[in-house]
Amino acid sequence: MTGRGARTIRVDTLARVEGEGSLYIKLVGERVADVKLKIYEPPRFFEALLRGRHFSEAPDITARICGICPIAYQMSAVHAIERALGVRIDPAVRLLRRLFYCGEWIESHTLHVYMLHAPDFLGYQDVIAMAKDHRAVVEKALRLKKTGNRIVQLLGGREIHPISAAVGGFYKTPTTQQLHELVDDLEWALDASLATVRWTAGLTFPNFEQDYEFVALRHADEYPLNAGRLVSNRGLDIEAAEYEDHFVEMHVKHSNALHSVVRGRGSYLVGPLARFNLNFDKLPEVARKAATDAGLRPPVKNIFRSIIVRAVELVFACAEALRIIHEYEPPATPRVEVSNRIGVGQAITEAPRGILYHRYALDENGLIVTAKIVPPTSQNQKRIEDDLREYAAQLVAWPIAEATWKCEQAVRSYDPCISCATHFLKVVVERENVRKDIQG
Amino acid sequence: MSSKSKHKPRIGVFKFASCDGCQLSLLDAEDELLAIAGAVDIAYFPEATRAMSKGPYDIGLVEGSITTYQDAQRIQEVRRHCRTLVTIGACATAGGIQALRNWKDVDEFIRVVYATPQFISTLKLSTPIAEHVPVDFELRGCPINKCHLIELITATLAGRKPNVPTYSVCIECKRKANVCIAVARGVPCLGPVTQAGCGALCPSYDRGCYGCYGPMETPSTVSLTSQFRILGQTDSQVARAFRGFNAWAWQFRKASEECERT
């Protein structure tokens, strides 16, 4: 085979993503013949093993789907179950849950912006190598990440798989004094987040805009975390309970994660870009100004710019955490009493990577009869493949090693969370004249 | 380290079926990460770096349980390349929450989750690493405690045994001067049979321990089971309590199966 044959871009173990997957792209001449985002993360069957467990165990069990966004799982679980049981929570608990989620956003977004994604823009293999030349930047990132983790630790007991979230509220709620001890760190973190917006805005971005269907929660009064209607820029406007009428999951052979599509339309995008584009008006003034100063106005259609949007969301999360702490008054009781009853409940919350849907059906003893979980990465998976099909076409003349790295960078723009999606990532770019380089 | 060895010790981090939380503990050691990276060569850690150097590795940290035929092969390969192999967390040490399948029909589980079951290949059991290869040390927890991970790396480099507790969560509660929630309030708590290491978190947050560090050295699960019954727990509730994140650890497994038999 000579020059006009097929070539592949392949990455057998996609790095700096959470979980295990690979990417395979086949180029024939100037044409992108095939794109497969393969998820070989072993399936763990959470929806099946939840059956027969008591609803009170769901926040602890579903947290174990993902070590990076356990709070997202806990929040979608408690809201869905509370809906099934007809439970109304204390407004102070609602605020604490928002604060808890802000902690996870700060921790997760900082991890992704500085430790997983920035090395691509600056040409480093990892953050450790980056730290040799940019020590002060990395030290700031670690301190910012730690600030998010401090919130999670206070409200949840520990950073990974926190233990305090409960159906009806929390097992234990913090004192006003304990929350106020976070203020100095959060004020520093707000400044560090504003600096992060300026720093990420100074990076170089490929020219790559796509016509996305953005899907995110939207709430009348706030930037979305735990609540809101599910909306899109193509007219979707539904309650969580209607989710399965509008979205379908498809099982494809090359992936242990299910692909999700909007019924009748196809792939869609969830996560920071979708939230920002659909909720720009709900950002606090400090975050909106940081975004516009950095040249970001909705709609942002370049997935590589997600890194700046994450930084804007860091500003939001720090400002929102400070607002909540200043308004906080402890709830009358950490959690309201809940009793067993038959019911079905659905909820959607905004995980750092995008919307996370849970549905539970409960029996008269409070045991789970059926559970359904649709994580953000499985929703983005088809959109990632669609993006790569377009993006790889721009890279056909590039040397394989560079094209591969750029494709990996594109995938990492989504901050994919493969353990979540399997209940997913490795990159492969193939061209036929170099086929002998390819193994298994 | 001998004075002759000039190279930095090489660490590899390997993932099997898991949530990534235990390896994330290393990145969550915000105050220590750069110091650790200065002391060791992080040679293989796909969650953090594109650079993937081949073995051998001085320390292999293994996260996750074995659930597929391919992974059962891969752990043999990993073992060959690691001088010291340490399992991190409940999945690698006891099979994890995914070991709940071990009491069920996995083919039925596949049909529940996936539309086209023939695309999915998996083993019937989720098993700990030690059922497949010799393991030099096991770090408990779901997730592990990052201080234990740092202690483990330090101890291994110094050639000594890591100093992590083997006593029960009860000892940690006493040290924190917690009022016993089981005795004072009748809350079912796995603390008496669970290995310490979390700092008695759950009891400190007004809830019973759910056993995420797995069984302590010599747990009296029989007496705890009768105590749970005195507290009004049904057999299926007691069985569920033992059947959590360390369900396949033999002491908890035996305790849950005894409840099912009665």
Q: What is the pLDDT of residues B189-224, one digit of tens each?
A: 999 999 999 999 999 999 999 999 999 999 999 999
CA B175 to chain centre: 24
Counting the structural domains of chain A, the total is 2
> Could you tell me if residue A14 is inside a domain?
yes
Q: How far is CA B192 from CA A45, B131, B188, B208, in A?
A: 30, 26, 11, 11
Concatenated DSSP letters of A360-395: EEE-TTSBEEEEEEE-HHHHHHHHHHHHHHHHHHTT
Mutation target for A interface from B49, B53, B202: give the one with most A CBs within 10 A: B49
A258/B202 touch (CB, cutoff 8 Å), yes or no: no
Nearest CB to A67 within list B24, B112, B245:
B24
Distance of CA B135 to the CA centre of its chain: 13
A144 in the same domain as A33 = no
Interface test mutation site (partner B, options A13, A106, A128, max chain B beta carbons within 10 A): A128
Instruction: Say yes or no for a CB contact (<8 Å) between B49 and A67.
Output: no
Q: For A249-284, write each residue's pLDDT tens digit.
A: 877 776 666 778 899 899 999 999 999 999 999 999
CB contact under 8 A, A126 and B112: no
Chain B residue numbers touching A251 (CB-CB < 8 A):
114-116, 119
CA–CA gap between residue A64 and residue A86 (Å, rounded): 26
Same structural domain, A20 and A152:
no
Give B15's contacts in chain A (Cβ within 8 Å): 19-20
Nearest CA-CA partner of A227 in A243, A245, A239: A239
Mean pLDDT to the nearest integer, B73-99: 97
Q: Alpha-carbon distance A138 to B37, whole Å?
A: 13
Inform me whether the pLDDT recorded for B229 exceeds 90.
yes
Facing residue for A13 by CB, picked from B23, B52, B142: B52
Is B15 close to A20, i.e. CB distance below 8 A? yes
The strand pair at B10-15 and B41-44 is best described as parallel
Q: pLDDT tens digits, chain A, 440 residues: what are they?
A: 334 567 888 887 777 777 778 888 998 888 888 888 887 777 788 999 999 999 999 999 999 999 999 999 999 999 999 999 999 999 999 999 999 999 999 999 999 999 999 999 999 999 999 999 999 999 999 999 999 999 999 999 999 999 999 999 999 999 999 999 999 999 999 999 999 999 999 999 999 999 999 999 999 999 999 999 999 999 999 999 999 999 988 777 766 667 788 998 999 999 999 999 999 999 999 999 999 999 999 999 999 999 999 999 999 999 999 999 999 999 999 999 999 999 999 999 999 999 999 999 999 999 999 999 999 988 998 899 999 999 999 998 888 889 889 999 999 999 987 766 654 333 444 544 433 232 22
Contact A182, A150 (CB under 8 A): yes
Q: Where are the alpha helices (DSSP H) in chain B?
A: 21-27, 33-39, 69-81, 90-94, 106-113, 146-158, 169-175, 181-185, 201-204, 221-230, 235-242, 250-261
With CA atoms as reference, report the closest residue to A108 among A149, A48, A143. Answer: A149
For residue A433, CA distances in Å to A3, A129, A403 come to: 6, 34, 16
User: Do A114 and A16 reside in the same domain of the chain?
Assistant: no
Chain B residues with CB inside 8 Å of A68's CB? 20-21, 24
Output DSSP code: residue A242: G
Do A160 and B28 count as a contact with CB atoms less than 8 A apart? yes
Query: Distance between terminal CA atoms of chain A?
Result: 19
Residue A392 lies in a domain: no
Return the DSSP state at A116. Answer: I
Which residue of A44, A47, A139 is in closest CB contact with B17?
Answer: A44
- Helix (H/G/I), strand (E/B), else coil: A266: strand
Please give the CATH number for the structural domain made up of B10-158.
3.40.50.700
Count how many pairs of residues, chain A against chain B, have C-beta atoms within 8 Å: 183
Phi-psi domain of A45 (left: phi exceeds 0; alpha: psi -120 through 50; beta: other)? left
The residue among B260 and A419 whose pLDDT is bigger is B260
Check: CB of residue B172 under 8 Å from CB of residue B193: no
Structure tokens at A10: 């392949």
- Identify the closest residue of chain B to A53 by CA–CA distance: B240
Residues A103, A140 within the same domain: yes
Which tokens in the block code for residue A217? 């929660």
Asked whether residue A174 falls in the same domain as residue A263, the answer is yes
Q: Which two tokens stand for residue B207?
A: 């809830």
The neighbour count for residue B201, using CB atoms within 10 Å, is 22
One-letter identity of residue A388: L
Say what percent of chain B tops pLDDT 70.
Answer: 95
Mean confidence (pLDDT) of chain B? 92
Contact yes or no for A19 and B142 at CB 8 A: no
Domain membership of residue A382 (yes or no) is no
- At A283 the pLDDT is 98
- Are B187 and B177 within 8 A, CB to CB? no
Report if residue A384 sits inside a domain.
no
Q: Tell whether A135 and A123 lie within a shared domain.
A: yes
Pairing status of strand A31-39 against strand A368-374: unpaired
CATH value at residue A63: 1.10.645.10
Looking at the structure, do residues A231 and A136 belong to the same domain, yes or no? yes
Contacts of B139 in chain A (CB under 8 A): none
**Chain A: residue nearest B102 by CA?**
A49
The boundaries of every CATH 3.40.50.700 domain in chain B are 10-158
CA B3 from centre of chain: 35
DSSP A2-62: -TTSEEEEEESS--SSBS-EEEEEEEETTEEEEEEEEE-SPP--HHHHTTTSBGGGHHHHH
Identify whether A335 is part of a domain: yes
Predicted pLDDT of residue A27? 87
From A185's Cα to the closest Cα of chain B, the distance in A is 15
Both A50 and A137 in one domain: the answer is yes
Q: Which of A330, A359, A374 is the last residue of a domain?
A: A374
Compare all CA atoms of chain B with the CA of A119 and give the residue at the minimum distance.
B49
Residue (of A41, A42, A81) closest to A61 by Cα position:
A81
Q: Is residue A381 one of the residues assigned to a domain? A: no
Q: Identify the domain containing residue A89 by its residue range.
A: 44-374
Cβ–Cβ of B42/A45 closer than 8 Å? no
Decide if A84 is inside a domain: yes
Chain B partners within 8 Å of A43 (Cβ): 67, 110, 113-114, 120, 122
Q: What is the pTM of this model?
A: 0.94
Candidates B19, B34, B205; nearest CB to A64:
B19
